[in-house]
Amino acid sequence: MSAVIIARHGRTPAERFKDAAWVAFVALLLGIPMVGLTTVDEGGALTVQTRFGMLGIFVGVSFAGRFVFRWIMDQVRGRRAAKPAVAKLDRTPLAIKTIGWAVLGASIALPIMFSENRYVIDTATTVLIYVMLGWGLNVVVGLAGLLDLGYVAFYAVGAYTYALLFSHFGWTFWEALPVAGAMAATFGILLGYPILRLRGDYLAIVTLGFGEIIRVILVNWTELSNGPNGIGSIPRPTLLGLPFERNPAEGTQSFASFFGLDFSGMHRIIFLYYLILVLALLTNVFVSRLRKLPVGRAWEALREDEIACKAMGMNVTNVKLSAFAIGAMLGGFAGVFFAARQGFISPESFTFTESATILAIVVLGGMGSQLGVVLAALVLVLLPELGRNFSEYRMLMFGTAMVLIMVWKPSGLLASREPTIRLNKALAMDNKAAGLGGQA
Amino acid sequence: MSTATLLSVENLTMRFGGLTAIDDLSVSVPAGKITAIIGPNGAGKTTFFNCLTGFYKPTTGSVRLVHPKKGEMRLETMTGHRVARDAQVVRTFQNIRLFPKMTVLENLIVAQHNFLQEASRFSIAGIFRLPAYRKAEAEALRTAAHWLERLGLTDIADVAAGDLPYGTQRRIEIARALCVDPVLLCLDEPAAGLNPRESAELNILLLSLCREEGIAILLIEHDMSVVMKVSDHICVLNYGRKIAEGTPEQIRNDPQVIKAYLGEDDENEPATVMGGNA
């Protein structure tokens, strides 16, 4: 009985007081050198002065903060414990769906609300590139459970394929997009073959090496890639053949002249934003659909138990290669967009840090969760941007936030897994289809 | 008809470096019956299973399957997944190997991967949800629902398999293997960790699978209350060799078997290889 009361109402005030007193004591010990003592420059000589007033405030704030924090935590915990677990299970997918639609609505409305603010839309475009990359890598890491530290290689392959196709053959964005995707998928399979037998740490190291190989080739094979100088003046994508230019070539129309608008540089920025939004959404629909197909279920089964997959008669080689190929293809698409948006690419854009960021997005978001990737991409791209005001503390803040998130949610922001099929729902649909068939 | 041989293993030997895990073993498994492989720990039973199901490539010897539809097949030349896919010889594992984060139903649907994958036409028919694929999916669902019902798993179909009790996980693993549509079902210690009531239910299940569905079952088991009650035929292994073979009655009274299990006082044979009821 008493256990129930504790679970409902948390700890007693006396316990909370004791806990806060301990924290205050630790704060005091730490605070004496850090807050209580300070050095002052007095006429060239450095002297130590005490700041007991400050120390007192520091300890007091620690005490009060801890007390309130505990109280809130206990309230939250009590409320959670009081709720029946079943209701929570049923509610989660609905909540996720609601958040998902809200995020989608916000992202469609964003350029309308900030139509004059180039910085906001540019940053949002960057977020969306990472969202798309995250969704692509999610296939390999989140669904198939193959730890890939060299994902940026496929991003680079996509970007360079477009850049080279343009500079040698004058291909446009839309022509190059499918070819670059296919090219990246080919590289995905090329990487996949030698590492079929590897798992976990070993796999991670080899993929890391693969990412570096691609980058080093791009730096050194000057005849192909123009080396560290990169490839410039890559054309921007057009809208059904309408370029976003102030002065279109003789006899052609630009977006602004076709629609009878005054030319504005923002048109292109907003168009790029919507383009990546559409690409990312297509990626999402594609991956969500695949997840509910045999191939997607096989990826997840592979993540869960490779030996059991074999015992079920599954060709594990094909399953792995398809995961690598699909993941790489999506990365390649994102790369084409990146090249078109920047107008200039060089190997410097495809360093290991990029791979690490994309992987962090997938892990932080919760492996396999589509919405989690969006939230994590927002956090990982926006935090450094917001932190610009804090100049040199920026990366410190960033690191702290990541550690805090991982402590708070060890399996990622959204770790719950939605089943790909439910018995009752599926049977009901089946019966309905059979009924309709009978009537017709 | 009932004496037809489904699987015949001839002169099978499996060596790991200097260790001979299976030594010149010949066994035949009749169609539509339950055959048990018993023996003390380390006798080579699981190694034998691994050789049958393509996880190990035997050093020498042959494993011939007379498939009711596809004719004779040589299992020792087939690798990994092909034994389950083409020969429909499906196994379960001593330490349960489910897909723990996937639901029970998903586990059973994944087992029908090859059927569904073919219907999805490289996922293209699946992506656009064409009628042919939807029909195949409905059929897979019916198969899964049938086995869920049969093994009493319908109520927990949408629960993650890893969250369920041990005894239930054993049943899920058998249900999943059945979804592959096996001609020979190889069960590696299906009663391990089950309580007496669950063991009794397992007996009923195994007998009905064999008698009603005509699935031949090959069973590794330590639990004699299961082995003696359900087996039509028992084969006893010790140190990788077959030491006895026959009906439960014959095996129970075989001096060689008693010696292998209990040891003998007047010989130097150590009694440390006693079969534990793990």
Burial of A167 (0-12, 13-18, 19+ CB in 10 A): middle
**If you measure CA to CA, which chain B residue comes closest to A303?**
B99
- Asked if residue B110 lies in contact with residue B103, where contact means CB atoms within 8 angstroms, the answer is no
- The distance from CA A85 to its chain's CA centroid, rounded to whole angstroms, is 29
Nearest Cβ partner for A312 among B55, B110, B158: B110
Domain boundaries, chain A: 2-83, 93-424
For chain B, where are the alpha helices, taking DSSP H only?
45-52, 81-85, 104-110, 113-119, 124-127, 131-150, 166-179, 196-213, 224-230, 248-252, 255-262
pLDDT for A128 equals 94
pLDDT for B104 equals 94
Mean pLDDT of chain B: 86
pLDDT in tens, B116-175: 888 887 778 878 888 888 888 899 999 999 999 999 899 999 999 999 999 899 999 999
Counting residues of chain B whose pLDDT is more than 90, the rounded percentage is 32
- Asked if residue A58 lies in contact with residue A35, where contact means CB atoms within 8 angstroms, the answer is yes
pLDDT in tens, A169-182: 989 899 999 999 99
Question: Alpha-carbon distance B245 to B251, whole Å?
Answer: 7
Question: Alpha-carbon distance B81 to A346, whole Å?
Answer: 44
CATH of region B5-273: 3.40.50.300
Q: Which residue, among B34, B15, B32, has the nearest Cα to B23 in the 3D structure?
A: B15
- Three-class SS state of A414: coil
Question: Any CB–CB contact under 8 A between B106 and chain A?
Answer: yes
Min distance B81 CA to chain A CA atoms (Å): 4
Average pLDDT over residues A259-263: 75
pLDDT in tens, A276-315: 999 999 999 999 999 999 999 999 999 999 999 999 999 9
Residue type for position A268? R
Question: Any CB–CB contact under 8 A between B261 and chain A?
Answer: no
Question: Any CB–CB contact under 8 A between A89 and chain B?
Answer: no
Domain boundaries, chain B: 5-273
The pLDDT of residue B275 is above 50 = no
Question: Alpha-carbon distance B141 to B134, whole Å?
Answer: 10
Q: H or E stretch including A171? A: none
pLDDT for A434 equals 56
pLDDT for B265 equals 56
CATH of region A93-424: 1.10.3470
Q: How many CA atoms lie within 13 A of A94 on its CB side?
A: 5
Please state the pTM of the whole predicted model: 0.80
At A368, the pLDDT band (50, 70, 90 cuts) reads confident
Q: Give the pairing of strands B5-16 and B19-30.
A: antiparallel
- Asked if residue B212 lies in contact with residue B236, where contact means CB atoms within 8 angstroms, the answer is no
pLDDT for A433 equals 57
- Asked if residue A150 lies in contact with residue A330, where contact means CB atoms within 8 angstroms, the answer is no
Per the DSSP assignment, residues forming a β-bridge with B184 are B89, B216
Q: H or E stretch including B260? A: helix B255-262
pLDDT in tens, B221-274: 888 888 888 999 999 988 888 888 898 888 888 888 888 877 765 554 444 444
- Asked if residue A195 lies in contact with residue A218, where contact means CB atoms within 8 angstroms, the answer is no
Question: Any CB–CB contact under 8 A between B170 and chain A?
Answer: no
- The distance from CA A27 to its chain's CA centroid, rounded to whole angstroms, is 36
Q: What CA–CA distances, in Å, run from A239 to A130, A259, A267, A270, A285?
A: 23, 12, 11, 12, 22
Question: Alpha-carbon distance B9 to B27, whole Å?
Answer: 5
Q: Which residue has the tokens 């976003």?
A: A244
**If you measure CA to CA, which chain B residue comes closest to A427?**
B141
Find residues 416-435 of chain A whose CB sits inside 8 Å of chain B: 417, 419-424, 426-427, 430, 433
